Amino acid sequence: MGHKENAKTQANASEGNATEGGNATEGGNATEGGNATEGGNATQSGNATAATTNAADSQAHLTTPTRLTGSEILWATLVGEGVTEVFGYPGGAILPAYDALRKFPIHHVLVRHEQGAAHMADGYARASGKVGVAVATSGPGATNLVTGIATAMLDSIPIVCITGNVSSKVLGTDAFQEVDITGITLPVTKHNFLVSKAEDLARVLREAFQIARSGRPGPVLVDITKDAQQATAEFDFEAAKPRAYRPHPMLHVDDSGLAQAAELIRNSKRPVILAGHGVMESGAMEQIRTLAERAQIPVGLTLLGLGGFPASHPLSLGMMGMHGEAWVNEAIQEADLLIACGMRFDDRVTGTLATYATKAKKIHIEVDPSEINKNVKVDVALVGDLREVLEQLLPRIGSRNNGGRDGSAWLKTIEASKGAVAVRDINNLPDSGHLYAAHVMHDLWRITGGNAVVVTDVGQHQMWEAQYFHHDKPRTLITSGGLGTMGFALPAAIGAKFACPEKEVWVVAGDGGFQMTAAELATIVQEKIKINIAIINNGYLGMVRQWQEFFYERNYESTPLVSPDFVKLADAHGIPGRAVRKRSEVDSAVNAARSATGAFLLNFMVEKEDSVYPMIPAGSGLHEMIRRPDHDPLEETADDK
């Protein structure tokens, strides 16, 4: 046993060496020895250099059954599942696992709060399409994950959360830091497990990964008792393979459904495609585009669908729903056919259901059968993976010159409705020297060429981002749509940066949400990663203030917000930054952030009482919009120096 252990340690350490060398985000650690926060990294590289290098041995534990501790099985299984980074926070009940971590080629990112760990795993998954992993200890460590888990659940994001728990002998006795985390997370996970035996670990973990990424993805939590981490068991990665994935038994796409859908599309005069997050999850970007182009159908997007269809495409209508453009919502209300693809008719998208798209037949292509007829009754349901269904449907759709439909009249109608509206609500709001959040988003988009990954928080800035930053590529907007979790942006951006270190990553957050997880600034510094942070600072909890303005007679109860000087706060972390007060300063500030070698913070002091237009009040119909006033009173009153 001792001999085997030794050999394995060597093997893994050597792989650790290889990984570290290859990882751009970590490259600087060895050379910049002066930083006190580096203790952990130094140990890691020391360990790695000491080991002999034999790449062939590094995967040995995956192919040869070996006797390992539960902790080692945990990491070995994660390595086998392709995990290279985890986000976590140690503590008593998970210590055995942390003790074994150094033997494995997995980089651990130490977060400042476990909510951040879950969001990082989430951001990692959204940016890469892979499963993100968060680790926490029992009790408060585990409960701190809950908001992050619920965020992933509502947006169908594949993450696996590992928590330690007290020893199985004292489970249920209110032992120190004991909490029933499988009970607590039951309604916000796709599935969860309690593992109290080392021999169950590999099988359960592999099943957890399969559940997280299959079908409609979602978060899975694996709670591991301390004794299961300490006990030893035979580890056989291959034997622990879960049974073949069994698709939901109610998935159903048949010829008659496809024929019906094709018939509806062919005969439609005013069709609209509604594309959602499923486009990304299923990888159906090409298929959606082909469908739209072949049948000349305009495409409206949900918030999470942005990037699934290029914003610059002539058939793109942009985001629909509560803060969607007037022409999208009007097109939906006038449509005679809606083709809903990988979206779930959320209330923020439909407004009141009583008046939603009453003239339209509806086709719903969706992977989760429980979404069919949940909010909106549909005429044809094609229940299956979006890409596969579209592959089957496309051969039945003719082009204009080939038995298909002529969509030009409908497109002209929509185009005409854009005219004046576009200028009034969204574009070219005159700056008159003031700084509007919309300008910041527009300039950010222009300067980055739309190539950045933007991670937003929740609130007004999130909607402005969705309106003014045009996303042409999938996975370039990362945002909490379903749960609307403030504090999401900063940690999720850290996860996204680890997923794609080569990409330019921007955090866009309000002054309120940023303060919820601002502690993760230290994580950025410890990990030496390059993230640009744009705080849209209006001194209010802006979206709540906007609701108070519209619906509560401007009673701004508890929404004015005193914040620290964010530039100084960044400086305290060793992150440079600057405040931006005028539109003329935006370009140079954004460029300064982009050209800085490390993280950079911009504090945009924007118009305090600006609102997001247009807006459909909650519970109203899509056609009942509040429009931007022709003469915005703010333009006269704001004092701009």
Partner 1 sequence: MLHTFVAYVEDRPGVLTRVASLFRRLNININSLTVGRSERPGLSRLTLVCEASGEAGHRIRASLFKLENVVDVDDIAQAPSVTRELALIKVAASPRKRAQIFDLVEVFRARIVDLTSESLMIEMTGVESKIEGLIEVLREDDGQVLEICRSGKMTMRRGHHVSSVVKAMGVVDGEAAEPEVEPAADSVAGEAG
Residue 177 designated active-site: yes
| Binding residues for partner 1 restricted to 398-417, rule: CB under 8 A | none
Among 527, 540, 468, which residue's Cα sits nearest to residue 38? 527
Backbone angles phi, psi at 281, to 5 degrees: -60, -35
Query: Is the C-alpha dihedral spanning 52, 55, 61, 66 positive or negative?
Result: negative
- Which residue among 54, 373, 399, 588 contacts partner 1 (CB under 8 A)? 373
Count residues binding partner 1 (CB under 8 A). Answer: 18
Residue of 4, 32, 169, 176 marked active site: 176
- Which residue among 191, 266, 348, 594 contacts partner 1 (CB under 8 A)? 191
Q: Which is nearer to partner 1, 249 or 403 (CB)?
A: 249
Residue 172 sits in the site that holds partner 1 (CB under 8 A): no
| CA distance linking residue 258 with residue 112, whole number of Å | 50
Residue 372 sits in the site that holds partner 1 (CB under 8 A): yes
State the DSSP H helix or E strand holding residue 153, giving kind and residue range, or none if neither.
Answer: helix 146-154
CB of 259 to partner 1, least distance (A): 18
Q: Which is nearer to partner 1, 211 or 389 (CB)?
A: 211
Sole window of 89-97, 327-335, 363-371, 581-589 interacting with partner 1 (rule: CB under 8 A): 363-371
Sole window of 121-129, 179-187, 344-352, 475-483 interacting with partner 1 (rule: CB under 8 A): 179-187
Sole window of 24-32, 362-370, 407-415, 448-456 interacting with partner 1 (rule: CB under 8 A): 362-370
Residue 226 designated active-site: yes
CB of 461 to partner 1, least distance (A): 32
Burial of 554 from C-beta contacts in 10 A (0-12 / 13-18 / 19+)? exposed
Residue 190 sits in the site that holds partner 1 (CB under 8 A): yes
Residue 548 designated active-site: no
Residue of 20, 26, 114, 366 marked active site: 114
Backbone angles phi, psi at 165, to 5 degrees: -140, 170
CB of 250 to partner 1, least distance (A): 5
Q: Which is nearer to partner 1, 204 or 541 (CB)?
A: 204
| CA distance linking residue 586 with residue 207, whole number of Å | 48
CB of 344 to partner 1, least distance (A): 12
Residue 34 sits in the site that holds partner 1 (CB under 8 A): no
Whole-angstrom Cα Rg for the chain: 26
Backbone angles phi, psi at 513, to 5 degrees: -60, -35
Residues 6+ apart with CB under 8 A from 134: 86, 87, 88, 114, 117, 118, 120, 121, 145, 148, 159, 160, 161, 162
Backbone angles phi, psi at 381, to 5 degrees: -110, 120
Q: Which is nearer to partner 1, 49 or 214 (CB)?
A: 214
Q: Which is nearer to partner 1, 239 or 250 (CB)?
A: 250
> How many angstroms from the chain centroid is the CA of residue 92?
30
Among 414, 394, 390, which residue's Cα sits nearest to residue 341? 390
CB of 550 to partner 1, least distance (A): 30
Among 311, 298, 268, which residue's Cα sits nearest to residue 471? 311
The three-state DSSP-derived secondary structure of 195-261 is ECCHHHHHHHHHHHHHHHHCCCCCCEEEEEEHHHHHCEEEECCCCCCCCCCCCCCCCECCHHHHHHH
Tokens representing residue 142 in the block = 């585990």
Find tokens 């980089």 and name the residue: 107
SS3 441: helix
Sole window of 170-178, 222-230, 247-255, 628-636 interacting with partner 1 (rule: CB under 8 A): 247-255
- Which residue among 249, 395, 449, 633 contacts partner 1 (CB under 8 A)? 249
- Which residue among 67, 241, 248, 348 contacts partner 1 (CB under 8 A)? 248
**x-marked contacts with partner 1 along 204-223 as a string, rule CB under 8 A:** -------x------------
Q: Which is nearer to partner 1, 252 or 412 (CB)?
A: 252
Residues 6+ apart with CB under 8 A from 392: 253, 258
CB of 541 to partner 1, least distance (A): 29
CB of 198 to partner 1, least distance (A): 18
SS3 467: helix
Residues 6+ apart with CB under 8 A from 271: 265, 295, 297, 298, 335, 336, 337, 338, 339, 405, 407, 410
Sole window of 97-105, 303-311, 372-380, 615-623 interacting with partner 1 (rule: CB under 8 A): 372-380
Residue of 319, 543, 615, 625 marked active site: 543
CB of 368 to partner 1, least distance (A): 7
| CA distance linking residue 485 with residue 503, whole number of Å | 24
Residue 447 sits in the site that holds partner 1 (CB under 8 A): no
CB of 584 to partner 1, least distance (A): 52
> Residues for the chain: how many in total?
641
- Which residue among 2, 172, 187, 449 contacts partner 1 (CB under 8 A)? 187
Catalytic residues: 114, 176-177, 226, 543
The residues that touch partner 1, with contacts defined as CB under 8 A, are 182-183, 186-187, 190-191, 194, 211, 246, 248-250, 368-370, 372-374
